[in-house]
Amino acid sequence: MCNHLRSREIYFPTTKWLHALFFFSQVQNKLIAIFATDLTSNCKQDKTAADNSCYNRTHGIMTYSITQIVDILHGTLLHSTVFEAEMAHILLDSRRVMFPKNSLFFAIVGKRHNGHQFMPDLYAKGVRNFVISENVAIQPFTNANFIKVDDCLRALQQLAIHHRRQFPDLQVIGITGSNGKTMVKEWLFQLLQPDKQIVRSPKSYNSQIGVALSVLQISPEHNLAIFEAGVSEKGEMQYLEPMIQPTIGIFTMLGMAHSEGFDSPKEKTLEKFKLFKNSKHIVYSVEARRTAHIAEEGVLARVQGLPMREKLTISESILASWTRNLKLSADLYVHSIQTIGNKTLLKGSFKNNLIEMTIPFTDNASIENAISCWMTLLQMGYAPTVIAERMARLEPVAMRLELKAGLNNCLVINDSYNSDLTSLNIALDFMVQQGAGRIAKTLIMSDILQSGQDLESLYRKVAELACEKKITRLIGIGSDIVLLQNWLDPACVKAEFYTTTPEFLKNIQNRAFQNEVILLKGARIFEFERIADRLSQKTHKTVLEVNLNALSNNLLTFKKLLEPNVKMMVMVKASAYGNGSHEVGRLLEYHKTDYLAVAYADEGIDLRNAGIKLPMMVLNPEPASFEAMSRYDLEPEMYSLRLLNQFVDFTDKNDTQKIHLKFDTGMHRLGFSPADLPELSRILKNNPQIQVQSVFSHLAASESPAFDAFTQGQFKQFNAMYETLTQGWKAKPLRHILNSSGIVRFPAARLDMVRLGIGLYGIDGSQTIQKKLQCVQTLKATISQIKNIPAGDTIGYSRRGVAVTDMRIATISIGYADGLLRGAGNGKFAVWLHGKRALIVGGVCMDMCMIDISQIPEAKEGDEVEIFGTNVSVNELAKALDTIPYEIFTNVSERVKRVYFQE
């Protein structure tokens, strides 16, 4: 236990605290991130409803001993002697061990990850309790408990099912649907928090593991739970429903997300509705059921296993429906939706009574989600006036944290729109991941509001977190957070406190922060965005947003295509295709990528200086950089006899040097030819200090079926050259030839390793899996000025833009110096503004350009404009410029601020 805390007596956090639930919504059953939720502590125990659990009323802790966990999991304890321990954490990731003696590791097996492989590392870190499903030699692990089960994932779920059963009277809202689950959950939390002690799914944790860990947060202090459930294929809901056991079910809407696992929208909806098998009430939109073609077929009757003749009885007793369609019958009919400025007035009828509410949002998705919340609260018996009052105060749901460059070589992580222990822990893990190379870690946080916990206990947990994450300075803002002083050791964590944000800003000096990573974590009312603005580098308002969740999704999408023994090399050259090599490199290291590849030694050295330790190949080495590559453990590509001889002359016979060999099989750019092989073999034989790590080639047209015969010829030549060179070698080097499109189109040629490039950044040149990839980059500008131009006037240089009729134009803050090339001007490309397209008029200037907003009357100065991203594909801009996405990405200049965010 960390000794940074003043108290000698340490209690573990309650089940409300999940540790490092990181990158989970993309992971499904992969062993990617730590998941730790508190189960127990040394405590005075009061029995709950179950005989094999207890509860510490002082500290809010559920207790399960090892013996009890064996019984719950129906497992077998492999040791004859039980090394009794009380479990405080569930652990799924060897990289995030915090409390080893009180952690229970579940060795979950995925397609590409096997938790059993990490057990020696975990044992070395002090973990002594394991749930396993494979035969393991346990003799080397002395004084450790091993619980053998059939399936570790199902065992984790069984523990969650048991835990849920300890609270039979708990009201639980279960939410499913293709879209809107997290938004509805968070809004219900806002709406019901004044009356309820609520436990809810952290972020978007709704998968097979995420639901289990969410449910394990329940403690006796809670009187309402709100959990999400997501499925991606048929048969998954049967495992989620017993864990959640919702008393109220909400079906949000049906969309295309995760449709590939189902044969039809009907099958997908049937699967999702299985969550409501035992629900007393189900809230849904009549339109949503009709969209899925299931309304007239008695879906709920079949889900619940009841005969069709009972359909009407079921509908009358448990369904709570809403609609905006006058022709459809529903409990809540919304007959008027009126936009008033930045708000929406909704009027409807419920049980023959006219009701209305106003929400501070105008977009369709928010309106749909708000109506689901409206119907839910009505079904729960809340008065329409109370609902209307709370709906008017709904706040946006902060679904992401942002990383941006700060002053004085700092990194600023802005997560200043929510404040609770779960999100704090997630943000701190992100801080650790992205703050590599910076020893100083500063946490600036506000009071945690409306936690429902005793303040002493709450801030003691914050102190534990700060200690475990090695925070070096903590700045507290608010009236309650000063309680941290009771628990922080000033010799380890320097702390200072301010009553308000203005007081902090008045007293702080910019030079007070140097070469450190700074996390901002605060409730909305503290306006931490002002602190973010003060500490961030000042650049012009054109930004490139980089979605780290999308990067993770794309990486895992390609990994799923590979056999478990196939390695992956990821290209991070040219600043990771313009995305930022440090941030992308750290994310790839977190995901245990096998290799990175850079173009030049300088790029690799920069990554090493940023703390990235992954093996790294240099594609274009130069003799002048050989010494630096050796010093920084970079592995050069050798592509010619001349270069290889120069490298041999550099090496010491007693000093092993790793290299990679490139064959030219038809690209005719770089690489050894078949005629070079005899001399290449001689050089390698005479220089045993040279270790060949891999042999590879480059495909010329992997994305194009028209050239498949040529590609197959490249495969054949590569294999022949490889066999010729390595004949008689005891240790065969890795083989790799496939790029992103090749990974998708040529499964038989995946060999020992593949190289992922543009696919990581959301582009599938073959278009085969494009729908599974997510947009990573969004380039945005802002409107600087709006003008009305009379007919006949011209716009821009050389008077090339002509106003044929009266026009309204906007000047936006991006030009060719930012990466929007001149070829996009004069009507060849249109940007995205307020849900509409706006053509570029006149030429693109160095620092700005003009767009036609005549048909967008709501546009105003300061509005955000998307150049490419989620609404406008980068492929469209590439087509307008007669180029490829690679060039668009790498042309975004360094003066454009990169902002990294993670959901």
**Active-site positions?**
573, 797
What gap in Å lies between CA 205 and CA 183, rounded to an integer?
13
Q: Is 475 strand, coil or helix?
A: strand
Q: Is 653 strand, coil or helix?
A: coil
Work out the angle at residue 455's Cα, subtended by the Cα atoms of residues 449 and 458, and round it to the nearest 5 degrees.
Answer: 85
What gap in Å lies between CA 518 and CA 535, rounded to an integer?
9
Whether residue 177 contacts residue 251, with contact meaning beta carbons closer than 8 Å, is answered with yes
Neighbours of 147 (CB within 10 A): 24
What gap in Å lies between CA 529 and CA 521, rounded to an integer?
10
- Which phi and psi angles does 323 have, rounded to 5°? -155, 160
Q: Residue 667 is inside which H or E element, if any?
A: none
Mention every residue, 6+ apart, whose C-beta is less than 8 A from residue 543.
Answer: 779, 780, 896, 897, 898, 899
In 140-242, the DSSP E strands lie at 145-148, 171-176, 198-200, 224-228
Mention every residue, 6+ apart, whose C-beta is less than 8 A from residue 169.
Answer: none
Whether residue 478 contacts residue 451, with contact meaning beta carbons closer than 8 Å, is answered with no
Structure token digits, residue 24: 């989970």
Mention every residue, 6+ apart, whose C-beta is less than 8 A from residue 330.
Answer: 286, 321, 322, 323
What gap in Å lies between CA 846 and CA 817, rounded to an integer?
5
Q: Is 455 strand, coil or helix?
A: helix
What gap in Å lies between CA 450 and CA 444, rounded to an integer?
19
Handedness of CA 883, 885, 887, 893 (dihedral sign): positive
DSSP 601: H
Neighbours of 144 (CB within 10 A): 18
Neighbours of 772 (CB within 10 A): 17
Partners of 442 in beta bridges: 473, 518
Mention every residue, 6+ apart, whose C-beta is less than 8 A from residue 560.
Answer: 111, 112
Q: Euclidean distance between the first and final Cα of the chain, in Å?
A: 31
Pairing of strands 830-833, 836-841: antiparallel
Mention every residue, 6+ apart, whose C-beta is less than 8 A from residue 750.
Answer: 562, 563, 566, 738, 743
Structure token digits, residue 105: 């590791």
Mention every residue, 6+ apart, whose C-beta is less than 8 A from residue 535.
Answer: 406, 407, 410, 412, 510, 513, 518
Pairing of strands 332-340, 319-323: parallel
Mention every residue, 6+ apart, whose C-beta is less than 8 A from residue 286.
Answer: 295, 321, 322, 323, 325, 328, 329, 330
Mention every residue, 6+ apart, whose C-beta is less than 8 A from residue 621.
Answer: 600, 601, 629, 636, 637, 638, 643, 647
Looking at residue 684, its amino acid is L
Whether residue 457 contacts residue 60, with contact meaning beta carbons closer than 8 Å, is answered with yes
- Which phi and psi angles does 779 have, rounded to 5°? -95, 125
Q: Which residue has the tokens 């809107």?
A: 180
Q: Residue 886 is inside which H or E element, if any?
A: helix 885-891
Starting from the edge strand earliest in sequence, which strands make up the sheet with 248-251, in order?
Answer: 198-200, 224-228, 171-176, 248-251, 281-285, 319-323, 332-340, 343-350, 353-359
Q: Residue 790 is inside which H or E element, if any?
A: none
Pairing of strands 777-789, 61-63: unpaired
